Amino acid sequence: MKHVVLVGLSGSGKSTIGPTLAERLGRAFVDTDDLIVERVGMPIAQLFAQRGEPAFRAIERDAVAAAVDREASVIATGGGAPVDPGNRGKLWDGNLVVWLDAPLKVLVQRVGDAGHGRPLLRGGAAVRLARLHSARAPIYQTANLRIRTEITGVEGAICAILDRLQDGA
């Protein structure tokens, strides 16, 4: 497996687990949302407000392509990146894809009910996360590994991923 790809809803732990996992593996950590911000020079919420979701998704496709073209790394995707079939093909091809999951109640606690800075959660994170979970779970379920982060915590999640890599994914 070339990359470890972390997928899941906002608040699932991708940005928390990813850097520590990358450090333990001696790899770079790449967050596709950070690549987008670097490319457009503005926060994602501002990008959504000024250009809309279709423009964001087009830039996200470029960010995913750039992330998978790097040397072996740990990649954290935006929650919706795997919904795009082209992104999913790139992310799932030859990589260990890990679905970081948690109950909606836990996700809302982590991101806050207002979903600050997360355009798709504006107007009530609980309701929006429930809708996103319903739409995205069938895609996330195709990951190689599912980790319930509310049970494992950061260290347990990292150990589960390291064990899976050691077993040959």
Q: Which helix (H) or strand (E) holds 73?
A: strand 73-76
pLDDT tens digit sequence for 136-155:
999 999 999 999 998 999 99
Residue 114: pLDDT over 80: no
User: Starting at the edge strand that comes first in sequence, how are the strands of the sheet with 96-101 ordered?
Assistant: 28-31, 73-76, 4-7, 96-101, 145-148
Residue 102 pLDDT class (50, 70, 90 cuts)? very high
User: 147 near 99, Cβ under 8 Å?
Assistant: yes
Q: Domain count of the chain?
A: 1
35 falls within a domain: yes
167 falls within a domain: no
Q: What is the CATH number of the domain that holds 24?
A: 3.40.50.300
168 falls within a domain: no
The alpha carbons of the chain give a radius of gyration, in whole angstroms, of 15
Write the single-letter amino acid at 60: E
89 falls within a domain: yes
166 falls within a domain: no
Residue 120: pLDDT over 60: no
27 falls within a domain: yes
pLDDT tens digit sequence for 48-73:
889 988 999 999 999 999 999 999 99
Mean pLDDT of the chain: 90
Total-model pTM:
0.91
169 falls within a domain: no
pLDDT of residue 121: 53
Write the single-letter amino acid at 130: A
49 falls within a domain: yes
Dihedral pair phi/psi, residue 7, rounded to 5°: -125, 160
Domain residues for the domain of 115 are 4-161
CA 141, CA 61: separation in Å to the nearest integer?
Answer: 21
Cα dihedral across residues 24, 25, 26, 32: positive or negative: negative
